[in-house]
Amino acid sequence: MSQLISAPGVRSDVPDFSLPAARIKPKKLIPLTMKDMADETRLFQAKYLSQFFKKAN
């Protein structure tokens, strides 16, 4: 695990974009509550449906 955090020849102050975002910002991704997911779904549905109806008209 330690070689993941500080690989030789890699500067630690520069973010490594080849790593998954989960390692960089775990706080944002892990505590997804059911309400958060419902809100996300509702937003996505609203966006998708509005696009769909724009195309239909």
| pLDDT for the residue numbered 4 | 52
Alpha carbon distance 46, 8 (integer Å) = 47
pLDDT in tens, 5-50: 555 555 555 555 555 554 555 555 555 677 777 888 888 888 888 8
For residue 54, pLDDT beyond 70 = yes
Domain that holds residue 22: 2-56
CA distances to 21, 30, 34, 47 from 25, in Å: 6, 9, 20, 26
For position 19, what pLDDT does the model report? 53
Rounded to an integer, what distance in angstroms lies between the CA atom of residue 57 and that of residue 52?
Answer: 9
Give the pTM. Answer: 0.32
pLDDT the model gives residue 34: 72
Question: For the chain, how many structural domains are there in total?
Answer: 1
Length of the chain in terms of residues written: 57
At 6 the three-state DSSP class reads coil
